[in-house]
Amino acid sequence: MEVTLSKIAALVQGTIIGDPEQVISGVAPFALAAEDQITVAGTARFLKKIGDCTAGAILVPRDFKTEARNLLQVDNPMVAFARIMQYFHPPVQPPAGIHPSAVIGADSKCGKHVTVDPQVVIGRHVTVGDRVWLHPGVVVGDDAVIGDDAVIHPNVTIQARCIIGNRVIIHAGTVIGSDGFGFAPDGNCYHKIPHTGIVQIDDDVEIGANNTIDRGTFGKTHIGRGVKTDNLVHIAHNVRVGENTVLVAQVGIAGSATIGKNAVLAGKAAIAGHLTIGDGAIVGPQTGVGKSVPDGQIVSAGLPGMPHRIWLRVQRMVPKLPEFSKRLAVLEKRFKRLEEKMD
């Protein structure tokens, strides 16, 4: 595909500085872009290096100007870059149809132009919307609902009665609606607590590979519109995740926690049960959260990397910290008495 820079500018509502007839045949990263490709310089780090870039055109912020290159000024360079990538690499449209090896239960309904690949199993009383693509090995439990234009990748399991919204993407190996981790101890053994609720995933959500989202004990585990999860995320029973929140790889959220809108939970963040993470809050990587976080607050407690020899010295000191604290308290008292005598 070859298009002019002027056509790309119209696609992203951009302003051209340079040659509007520059031919663009694709997108590429900043350091590798060729003369017929477009790239992005959305931060100061890349804007400083524009003179070294060999791309045919560069997306830049609206207020950035230079005469060195063909520039395309836009309000949000990364969003514009995403739209241009979608233009050059549109989603694959599979042929509609149901493979002979698929199993579809009684009273289930599939919408128009649905693709059901080999070895898919659909339970009873399931509703599948229009233009849905169920990849090989997908299992959909009884009474589940899948909205229009959803893409369910290989070996995803959607358990009984769960609800999947429109334009939802679920990547390979994810399990939606497994039982929550609930057991009642009697001192000798653990008695399983039945989980009778569901999982509801709203429109425009994308779930990464190998996620596990447990059904509610009662009611529902609810993933709000526009949420994006990375791979290997665990969301426990009755958790509520607000709209447009991002959960990065290996995040774990314990039961009945509430995550607000537009929040970010970085890699390996762990949220204790029944807490609230406020709207717009950011939880740093490897941070264990043991109390609720207000709207907009940033919390971090992860371990930074350090040279191994220094790490060994630090670890040797950790067991001695209680004794150091006691000795410091004694020294503070002595110092205070000396100050009083001097006065």
Contacts of 172 (CB under 8 A, 6+ apart): 135, 153, 154, 155, 156, 209, 210
Cβ pair 66, 46 in contact under 8 A:
no
171 flagged as catalytic: no
Cβ pair 129, 147 in contact under 8 A:
yes
Q: How far apart are CA 175 and CA 198, in angstroms?
A: 13
Contacts of 229 (CB under 8 A, 6+ apart): 206, 207, 208, 211, 235, 246, 247, 251
Of 133, 136, 129, the closest CA to residue 110 belongs to: 129
DSSP string, 310-331: HHHHHHHHGGGHHHHHHHHHHH
Q: How far apart are CA 84 and CA 33, in angstroms?
A: 14
* 153, 222, 234, 237: the active-site residue: 237
Q: How far apart are CA 176 and CA 205, in angstroms?
A: 13
| Angle value at C-alpha 94, between 4 and 90, nearest 5 degrees | 20
Q: How far apart are CA 12 and CA 2, in angstroms?
A: 17
What are the structure tokens assigned to 123, written together?
């339970």
Cβ pair 102, 84 in contact under 8 A:
no
Query: How many CA atoms are closer than 13 Å to the CA of 297, on its beta-carbon side?
Result: 12
Positions marked active-site: 237
